[in-house]
Structure 1
Amino acid sequence: MLVDTGLQESPRHVCHHRQSEGGCADCKVRPISVCSVLTLPELEELESLSQHLVLEKGHALFGQDEPAGYVYNVIEGALRLTRLLPDGRRQVMGFALPGDFLGLALQDRFSVSAEALTSLKTCRFERRAFTGLVQAKPHLLRSLHDRAGYELTLAQDQMLLLGRRTAEEKVASFLLSLRERYARTGRTSVTLELPMGRQDMADHLGLTIETVSRMLTRLDRQHAVLLVPGGVRLLDLAKLESLSAN
């Protein structure tokens, strides 16, 4: 495994090499990641290309318009993906969770910034080396295509979310979507962790922070959710699904 040597000196990164306990074969996000299709020998080959990085909350994994020289697999934590618009406004494009791959687009530079919302663990792969591995393994390429299809579905859902829905419908849909994404990682608790702040939610949903707060309070008063420190408890899924389907 390679040793990470440059990121510690960057003022935006607080990363260091972290040897995995059991290697890629024992990675807890492997079943939901693109590397799930690889055999044990292939996983050893993949691990030889990887760097295990730790990033502190509030620091950037990469910035918008930076050269896209690496791809990343999120192991633990959450990231906020943002794009700075020409007029200076910030758009939150989405949130990366365990199992998500970042940097797979064909552009030479990152189109978004990725900032840690929590303590973060990620595998980093030099993009050219990872591309070479993918080209040699068609089943890995198919897995990447499946991942791209999943991300396209999320993007389409986001377009619908920003369309003709009311503020209450947007917030309900966001909570259910996050619940579904957590379920993919095996997290099925009725208490939904919200590592992103309400301003992040507002910038993602095309609302103001005041509106997001008001809609969460309304859902709480309707007993659809219960606001708790760090998240919400989903009390009435039928109510939320009814709102989300409109």
Structure 2
Amino acid sequence: MSDLAEVVTLKSGAVLVREGDPAPYVFSISSGSLKVYKLLPDGRRQITGFLFAGDFLGLAIGDDYVFSAEAMEPSVICRFRKGPFRLLVKQSPSLEHILLHRTMHELAAAQNQMLLLGRKTAIERLAYFLLDLPGRDPARPSAPGQVRLQMKRAEIADHLGLTIETVSRVLTRMKLNGLISTRSPHELVVERPDRMRQHALGEV
């Protein structure tokens, strides 16, 4: 597959694709992380997901990208033209299986996101996000409870359908209640995972 790939190096904040641009490529993230988002008619931004090493982008059929994608940190991306990539998938059952598994995972993630935005309170949304995030970046294993936050508070807010003030307030409350401790603006530790899980499930 490496013979078909063109390597793209992105600086933090660099845009990979813009919504509405022609979509001739499929992307695979080799290292780093991206945020994927759409702009609403009123100018607000909805971040639909965060992608990490091993994730694919642009697999959907369509002539134009229906999202924008931007690097949250220095990132390395492999870019494939759709035609040769689809032919490769047909010829490689193992790759086809990987993509099917990832597609199913993305569908489940989209369903969870709909539930978060439609039914969950602010603390439930943030608790679920903090518990789920480490598993999204398996290429950088974390210590138990460790959560790396490559994204900014405003980006978490745009992903969870909250204001940045609400995100900051809930994180402060979690810290005061001993649920989390912060090591830096980009790293925290879930100190009471069982209690955090109860919040995520709405059992508190």
- The TM-score bracket by the shorter chain reads over 0.9
* Corresponding residue for residue 188 of structure 1: 142
1:208 is aligned to 163
Aligned to 2:15: 60
State the partner residue of 1:234: 190
Distance 1:79 1:52 in 2: 15
Following TM superposition, by how much is the alpha carbon of 1:122 offset from its aligned partner in structure 2, in angstroms? 1.3
Q: Which 4+ stretches in 1 moved above 4 angstroms?
A: none
Equivalent residue of 2:118, what SS? coil
Partner of 1:37: none
Give the C-alpha shift of residue 145 in structure 1: 1.5
The Cα shift of 1:186 comes to: 5.2
Give the deviation of 1:160 after TM superposition. 1.0
**Structure 2 letter corresponding to 1:129:** P
Are 2:45 and 2:158, in contact at CA under 8 Å, matched by a contact in 1?
A: yes
Residue identity in the other structure for 2:194:
A
> Which residue of the other structure, out of 173, 192, 200, is the alignment partner of 1:218?
173
Once the 2 structures are TM-superposed, how far is the Cα of residue 136 of structure 1 from its aligned partner?
A: 2.2
The 5-angstrom pairing of residues 1-246 of structure 1 reads 46-182=1-137, 184-185=138-139, 187-189=141-143, 190-229=145-184, 230-246=186-202
Assess if the C-alpha contact under 8 Å between 2:134 and 2:148 holds in 1.
Answer: no
Larger Rg over CA atoms: 1
Question: Does the residue aligned with 1:48 lie in a helix, a strand or coil?
Answer: helix
Q: Which runs of 5+ in 1 are unaligned?
A: 1-45
Q: Under a length normalisation based on structure 2, what TM-score does the superposition of the two structures give?
A: 0.93
Structure 2 unpaired stretches of 5+:
none
Could you list the per-position Cα deviations for residues 76-106 of structure 1 after superposition, in whole angstroms to 9, with x for gaps in the alignment?
1111111011222111111111110001011
**Number of equivalences:** 200
How far off its partner does 1:188 sit? 2.4
